[in-house]
């Protein structure tokens, strides 16, 4: 499947924070945006693997925190 560009307009403060967070994780802005899009799709498309496991493992993290950690570990 080919790749297409995506143009997004955001305010400078949001872009600066996004850039800092991406760099802190060792990601380009493009890769961080791809992951954000994937996370958005996963979060709106029904139960995720992490949410299905909720209750099997005791965690002090929220479901969102668990899914973010899972995404980082599997990249």
Residues 75/35, Cβ–Cβ less than 8 Å? yes
**Predicted pLDDT of residue 48:** 61
Is residue 54 scored above 80 in pLDDT?
A: no
Give the three-class secondary structure for 34.
Answer: helix
Q: How far apart are CA 75 and CA 69, in angstroms?
A: 10
- pTM beyond 0.75: the answer is no
**Predicted pLDDT of residue 52:** 62
**Predicted pLDDT of residue 69:** 78
Q: How far apart are CA 62 and CA 1, in angstroms?
A: 34
Percent of the chain scored above 90 by pLDDT? 33
Residue 54: strand pairing partners: 57
The phi, psi pair for 3, rounded to 5°, reads: -105, 145
Burial class of residue 66, CB neighbours in 10 A (0-12, 13-18, 19+): middle
């Amino acid at each position: 499947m080919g790749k297409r560009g995506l143009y997004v307009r955001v305010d400078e403060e949001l872009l600066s924070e996004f850039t800092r967070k991406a760099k802190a994780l060792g990601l380009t802005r493009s890769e961080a945006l791809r992951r954000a899009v994937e996370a958005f799709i996963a979060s709106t498309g029904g139960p995720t693997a992490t949410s299905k496991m909720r209750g099997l493992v005791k965690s002090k993290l929220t479901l969102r925190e668990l899914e973010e950690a899972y995404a980082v570990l599997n990249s």
